[in-house]
């Protein structure tokens, strides 16, 4: 697939270069025999000629289409949009679980946020409080 993308991109560049050169050459053709007025700020060779033949226009559009297709073919695969799918794939891969250097690898990148020491565990605190209340209630009955 990579070789096909390179060939499509190369053809697109060649066609685009030819279309640009053809448009330049067409702009140099004399469009009228009248001489430009002497008070003209632009000389006759610098005035733009926008009446391009249809073949040059079609070649330009075709080359742009080829380049777009070549860029799409040569791009890497898309990654999942949903974070949980991405993190799940990352946790399942053996390479991602291996820590090769500090801060690189280690599975889910959000695991550190969930297991950090300064993170307050509300459910755990609520359970501790309920146990404390039950223990206090038992001590009052005795």
- Give the Cα separation of 5 and 73 in Å (integer): 5
Decide which of 85 and 113 is more confident.
Answer: 85
- Give the Cα separation of 2 and 113 in Å (integer): 39
Beta bridge partners of residue 104, listed in sequence order:
101
Please give the model's pTM, rounded to 2 decimal places: 0.49
C-alpha count within 13 angstroms, C-beta hemisphere, residue 132: 6
Which of 53, 66, 72, 57 is closest to 1 using CA atoms? Answer: 72
Q: What are the residue boundaries of the structural domains of the chain, listed by start?
A: 2-74, 83-141
Task: Tell me the pLDDT tens digit for each residue of 24-72.
Answer: 998 888 764 445 555 555 555 565 546 889 999 999 999 999 999 999 9
Q: Which one of 36-40, 65-69, 87-91, 113-117 scores highest in mean pLDDT?
A: 65-69
């Amino acid at each position: 697939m990579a070789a096909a993308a390179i060939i499509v991109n190369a053809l697109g560049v060649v066609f685009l270069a030819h279309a640009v050169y053809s448009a330049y050459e067409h702009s140099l053709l004399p469009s009228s025999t009248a001489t430009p007025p002497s008070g003209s700020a632009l000389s006759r060779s610098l005035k733009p000629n926008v009446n391009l033949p249809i073949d040059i226009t079609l070649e330009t559009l075709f080359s742009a289409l080829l380049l777009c297709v070549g860029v799409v073919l040569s791009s890497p695969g898309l990654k999942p949009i949903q974070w949980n799918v991405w993190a799940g794939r990352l946790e399942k891969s053996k390479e991602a679980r291996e820590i090769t250097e500090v801060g690189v690898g280690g599975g889910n990148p959000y695991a550190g946020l969930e297991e950090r020491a300064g993170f307050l565990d509300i459910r755990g605190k609520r359970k501790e409080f309920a146990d404390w209340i039950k223990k206090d209630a038992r001590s009052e009955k005795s």
